Structure 1
């Protein structure tokens, strides 16, 4: 094995590692996140998470039930709900673009969307 073969092998491994770890940073769509709250299929509120430095709670009362949503600069979650199974509360916080959490009995959904294109290099 010559000196140039060793240099070639090391450079291929180096660029493969850079590509593997750098791809995640390139494809992340977490700039300019917006939270869209929908009640019974209609948009209820749209909140920008960019620059939101404190958490706030949003109470939603519908004819189907009551839910409380906590929103901060990192994401959003159902804080409490009066539905039986509590799956929306157990889901936890959504923090990335295109994640959704739904309280089906109360017909409330929350979704994070990004201003940037939803199409990226990697499919999940």
Structure 2
């Protein structure tokens, strides 16, 4: 894998944000239910899914040390993303530099999604947490 040049402070930030998420998933107020309902409406999750099911899926993605971490810069804001598979489906988890959840979903054409938005490859979760 060819990694992008990422400033050291961003690597530390990614490690800290991931560590925070692994301890406890935190969402912006009300956004957890909003994103759960959207995932159900789009058929990404079964209609009977609970927030606990969605959060469990997210934990599965962020706890797999072989999953890939990306840096995503949107304007002046920095976000991080984890890419991995759940039940053979590619998902992406996006969170703030402070470890606050933004969203998690299975983009159609994940490689194009990542490329078009300028995501920068940071490394595998295990590598990020070791830094």
Instruction: Give the TM-score normalised by the residue count of structure 1.
Output: 0.25
Query: Between Structure 1 and Structure 2, which shows a larger proportion of strand residues?
Result: 1
Query: Between Structure 1 and Structure 2, which shows a larger proportion of helix residues?
Result: 2
User: Which of the two has higher C-alpha Rg?
Assistant: 1
Higher relative contact order (CA 8 A, sep 6+): 2
Instruction: Give the TM-score normalised by the residue count of structure 2.
Output: 0.24
